[in-house]
């Protein structure tokens, strides 16, 4: 029996959402190369593309942005966990455990898959930023509903609102966009 070395030539999963072409160095979301998206469309538009199969209209983008904004707040049980654990646990452990706590809440159990995914997407930056600030003995910041998803995350990390007219570096937005593809390692 021939067994390939490593994972070369092994199909790990099949999906309509993404295509990873490691040989060509390409990551494709629903037919769009990430280089067509990173630095050009906001994170919310990429999330819409992945969830609903198309880039959003202006109205759809505004609706999704509002839905993310109103779901950023963490339930008290998650905030209490972060306050207790942030100084001793690793950041990814904080994120993993916080997500597990959220998954056990009744609101998550009864939500549709899309609504639960949206709420989780809205809360992950809040979890990461809160853990980051608490680990450094800084005051945790409340999420701001007047900021976009990425701008709010940067605000919660730094305490400063990103400049509106300063374009996001394409590579940094690309890192955030590539973070949406979290099921398999796409490094």
Looking at the predicted structure, is the pLDDT value of residue 186 above 50? Answer: no
Give the domain extent around 184: 13-56+167-187
**In this structure, is residue 41 part of a structural domain?**
yes
The DSSP call for residue 32 is E
Q: For 70-122, how does the pLDDT look when each residue is reduced to its tens digit (9 = 90+)?
A: 999 999 999 999 999 999 999 999 999 999 999 999 988 898 998 999 999 99
Six token digits for residue 163: 């400049």
In a domain, residue 52? The reply is yes
Same domain, 52 and 129: no
Q: Does residue 4 lie in a domain region?
A: no
Q: Which of 3-17, 30-44, 134-148 has the highest mean pLDDT?
A: 134-148
H or E element at residue 19: strand 18-21
Q: What is the CATH number of the domain that holds 134?
A: 1.10.580.10
Q: Which residue has the higher pLDDT, 169 or 55?
A: 55
110 within a domain of the structure (yes/no): yes
Q: Please indicate, yes or no, whether residues 157 and 75 belong to a single structural domain of this protein.
A: yes
Domain contains 120: yes
The torsion defined by the Cα of 110, 114, 119 and 120, in degrees rounded to 10, comes to 100
The 3-state DSSP class for residue 26 equals: strand
Give domain status of residue 7, yes or no: no
Tell which wins on pLDDT, 77 or 34. 77
- One domain for residues 148 and 82: yes
Alpha carbons 122 and 143: distance in angstroms, whole number: 10
Same structural domain, 76 and 157: yes
Q: How far is CA 6 from CA 3, 9, 66, in A?
A: 9, 9, 44
pLDDT tens digits along 146-173: 999 999 999 999 999 988 644 454 444 4
Distance separating alpha carbons of residues 32 and 73, to the nearest angstrom: 31
Give me the helix-helix angle, 113-135 and 149-158, nearest 10°. 20
Q: How far apart are CA 71 and CA 20, in angstroms?
A: 31
H or E element that contains 12: none
Among residues of the chain, what percentage have pLDDT more than 90? 57
Judge whether 77 and 105 are in contact, CB under 8 Å.
Answer: yes
Domain total of the chain: 2
Distance separating alpha carbons of residues 53 and 170, to the nearest angstrom: 23
Per-residue model confidence (pLDDT) at position 183: 46
Q: What is the pLDDT of residue 140?
A: 95
């Amino acid at each position: 029996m021939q067994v390939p070395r490593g994972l070369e030539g092994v199909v790990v999963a099949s999906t309509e959402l993404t295509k990873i072409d490691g040989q060509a160095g390409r990551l494709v979301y629903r037919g769009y190369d990430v280089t067509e998206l990173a630095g050009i469309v906001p994170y919310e538009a990429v999330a819409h593309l992945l969830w609903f199969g198309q880039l959003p209209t202006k109205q759809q983008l505004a609706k999704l942005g509002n839905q993310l904004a109103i779901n950023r707040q963490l339930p008290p049980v998650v905030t209490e966990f972060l306050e207790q654990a942030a100084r001793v646990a690793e950041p990814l452990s904080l994120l993993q455990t916080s997500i597990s706590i959220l998954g056990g809440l009744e609101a998550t159990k009864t939500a549709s898959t899309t609504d639960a995914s949206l709420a989780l997407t809205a809360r992950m930056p809040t979890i990461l930023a809160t853990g980051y600030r608490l680990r450094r003995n800084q005051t945790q910041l409340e999420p701001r509903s007047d900021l976009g998803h990425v701008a709010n995350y940067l605000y919660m990390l730094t305490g400063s609102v990103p400049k509106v007219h300063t374009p996001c570096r394409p590579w940094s937005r690309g890192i955030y966009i590539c973070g949406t593809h979290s099921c398999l390692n796409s490094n």
